[in-house]
């Protein structure tokens, strides 16, 4: 009984989770980088 749910869980995230997870993670990282660069630019300009 433990093998069935595990197999289903490993199959679902691999196919369905592979595409959305990297995209959302990449978008979040890019957004964080843009925000950080914007803050640094503001600090440099203000100083």
Kindly list the domain boundaries of the chain, sorted by start residue.
3-46
Token pair listed for 15 = 């196919």
Residue 33 has pLDDT above 90, yes or no: yes
pLDDT at 24: 82
- β strands within the chain, DSSP E: none
Kindly report, residue by residue over 6-26, the tens digit of the pLDDT: 555 555 555 555 555 566 888
DSSP 13: I
Question: What average pLDDT does the structure give for the chain?
Answer: 75
pTM for the whole structure: 0.46
Dist CA 18 CA 26 (whole Å)? 12
């Amino acid at each position: 009984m433990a093998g069935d749910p595990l197999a289903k869980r490993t199959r679902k995230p691999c196919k369905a989770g592979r595409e959305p997870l990297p995209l959302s993670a990449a978008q979040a990282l890019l957004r964080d980088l843009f925000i950080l660069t914007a803050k640094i630019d503001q600090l440099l300009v203000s100083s």
